[in-house]
Amino acid sequence: MVFVRGDVPSATTAAQALADFGQVSGSLANVDKTNIYFGGVPDQVKQTIMANTGYTEGVLPFKYLDLSLHDSKLTVSMYEELLCKLRNSVQHWTTKLLSYAGRLQPLNSIFFGLENYWTSTILLPRTIIKILNQCCRDYLWNVHDNTHKIYMKS
């Protein structure tokens, strides 16, 4: 990702720098897969920049490194993909024969690693953090369909 001011000279200079880098390194930017995103740029300037660079205008939201990038504040519903991924990873771990310490190990290594990745890149709402914590608690205490296999002391 390259960020520039929304004017023609900045965008043209950045596109030329990418082209020069591509010639030196042999890693050319694929014009068919490269998009340019604008924020608060007049339509006439957009058209000039796209004509000079050869890139097409992209549409938000889009995914970058498995993160959805939006032009507005993220709502709770936008985190559904994260929640599904984490729930699916927890559901695939078998817990029938694992002790408390055995269930704690995958949580520490895998689940918290995924959660830390997401929290280090974006600010998670309190509601999402509560849902993630509940998912961890349910796995740790072997809860399935609101029935507990292990006694939970309140």
CA angle in degrees (0–180, nearest 5) for 136-138-141: 105
Report the mean per-residue pLDDT for the chain: 80
Q: Find, among 4, 115, 130, the residue nearest to 55 by Cα.
A: 4
- Global pTM reads 0.56
Q: What percent of the chain has pLDDT over 70?
A: 86
* Cα(105)–Cα(107) distance, integer angstroms: 5
In three-state secondary structure terms, 36 is strand
* Cα(1)–Cα(77) distance, integer angstroms: 26
Query: Which tens digits make up the pLDDT trace of 54-102?
Result: 889 998 887 776 667 777 777 777 788 778 877 777 767 665 667 778 8
* Cα(137)–Cα(149) distance, integer angstroms: 13
